[in-house]
Amino acid sequence: MYLGTPSGPDVRAAMSAGLIGCMTTPAQGNRIPDGAEYACDNGKFGKGWPGADRWYDWLARTVTRYGADRCLWAVAPDVPFDAAGTLAESLPWLPQIRELGIPAAFAAQDGCDLLALPWDEFDVLFLAGSTEWKIGPAAERLAREAKARGKQVHMGRVNSARRLGIAEWFGCDTADGTYLAFGPDKNLPLLCGWLTELHHAPSLFGSAA
């Protein structure tokens, strides 16, 4: 499932219909469309991080308002591009996310394949980090190990048909990006076309531009 921002009425309708999901962040401020499945990013990548306590308060309010049953996961606080820093930052929060009745996601960063990951502490492996790392062999190995362990896998910053195909090839269950935030009237039909082609043509990974 592709997760995007609820940009415009057509995108919101597609989310309510279950064609795509909604990604929300502390700074976004958008209402999650009725019936839509959603995931909660933490805002660490970019300028949306409100601090740990305010983030967790926001997360708890979001889950209460929209329901734990519709929440795909929430990603624990991380340190972008820093594997060791992310491990230290995330560990205390993973059980607190689970206490809200939702799956906890761990953001895998460059080099985390060299660390001992706390597999039992999280439910979703979120492929973050640099573009080169998260579409490379180390991330692919981690994604396949996560699937073998019964975890879900998510890839962030997916804004092209080729990147979406790579995510599918890795076995990702979900992917997100800002593609729909820019020109949603034009980009929603294109994205839906990518998803349709992906579901019917496994060769998309090798052939898409």
Kindly report the CA angle at 130 between 203 and 97, in degrees rounded to 5?
95
pLDDT tens profile 144-195:
999 999 999 999 999 999 999 999 999 999 999 999 998 999 999 999 999 9
Contact 176, 23 (CB under 8 A): yes
| Strand 152-155 to 174-176 pairing | parallel
pLDDT at 203 over 50: no
pLDDT at 201: 61
pLDDT tens profile 121-138:
999 999 999 999 999 999
pLDDT at 208 over 60: no
pLDDT at 207: 39
pLDDT at 204 over 70: no
Where residue 163 sits, what CATH number does that domain have? 3.20.20.70
pLDDT at 46 over 90: no
The dihedral of CA 150, 159, 1, 6: what is its sign?
positive
Number of structural domains (the chain) is: 1
Output the furthest CA–CA distance in the chain (Å, rounded): 45
Token code pair at residue 45: 């990548």
CA 203, CA 27: separation in Å to the nearest integer? 37
Token code pair at residue 8: 């415009």
- Confidence grade of residue 209 (pLDDT, cut at 50, 70, 90): very low
The whole-model pTM stands at 0.93
- 110: containing domain: 2-207
Whose CA is closest to 180, among 45, 1, 4, 3?
4
pLDDT tens profile 66-77:
999 999 999 999
